[in-house]
A and B are shown apart, each in its own frame.
Chain A
């Protein structure tokens, strides 16, 4: 199957700083990527849909000015958490759809654990 990578896998930062998380499709092109957030012992919640060459679509309740998404190429989407605060500490996971065996499947990255001190 297709491979999606994320970098970094783990990041610790001070409150008020910005953190960039990269999501890459390694062996396929992705015009769309999805960003999810998972708080401890909770489910994955969709944050936004990243669209190559256009603005991201954010889910209700997600601040677009705080979670900046840039999908600058067909293999890379970035999520920047601006002015991070401890409540932003979470596990961030991206996914990208890709056609496999005639079906449009989603492939997930390994996730990025963000800890804001």
Chain B
């Protein structure tokens, strides 16, 4: 069975500082990993994904994530946080093969303080 853990409910960071939102996963076979962002009363917005290839994935709005197979992690990062990055972030995983649905982490609320 697939699962995702986001160990932090809340991450606070000062504007201009680097940010990291943690994610670890469990899946049978090769993973297909995603990060989504959700603003209040809105749907999911895709940020980035990892399928195969380079472990460092670059996505939308300056975000990037590093796939670490040995640690089964896919942490989301940004070198310099903006107040507008404040939102709810979800990590999700599914097996690369087949037609299985995404399994989501519980979400991490990011608050960037000016």
A75 beta carbon closer than 8 Å to chain B: no
Contact B101 A104 (CB under 8 A): no
B71 beta carbon closer than 8 Å to chain A: no
Residues of the B chain whose Cβ atoms lie less than 8 Å from the Cβ of A67: none
Residues of the A chain whose Cβ atoms lie less than 8 Å from the Cβ of B102: 34, 95, 106
Q: How far is the CA of A104 from the CA of B107 in the complex (A)?
A: 24
Number of interface residues of B (CB under 8 A): 20
B44 beta carbon closer than 8 Å to chain A: yes
A111 to chain B minimum Cβ distance, whole angstroms, is 4
Contact A111 B43 (CB under 8 A): yes
8 Å CB interface, A43-69 against B: 43-46, 49
8 Å CB interface, A89-117 against B: 93, 95, 97, 103-106, 108-111, 113
Residues of the A chain whose Cβ atoms lie less than 8 Å from the Cβ of B96: 103
B102, closest chain A residue (CB)? A106
Do A109 and B106 form a contact, CB below 8 Å, given A32-B99, A34-B101, A43-B90?
Answer: no
Residues of the A chain whose Cβ atoms lie less than 8 Å from the Cβ of B57: none
Q: How far is the CA of A103 from the CA of B51 in the complex (A)?
A: 8
Do A44 and B99 form a contact, CB below 8 Å, given A93-B44, A108-B43, A113-B41?
Answer: no
Residues of the A chain whose Cβ atoms lie less than 8 Å from the Cβ of B51: 103
Contact A46 B101 (CB under 8 A): yes
B4, closest chain A residue (CB)? A43
A16 to chain B minimum Cβ distance, whole angstroms, is 26
B44, closest chain A residue (CB)? A108
Contact with A along B21-39 (1 / 0, CB 8 A): 0000000000010000000
B63 beta carbon closer than 8 Å to chain A: no
Q: A42-B107, A46-B103, A108-B46 are in contact. List 4 more A-B contacts (CB 8 A).
A: A93-B43, A104-B99, A106-B94, A110-B43
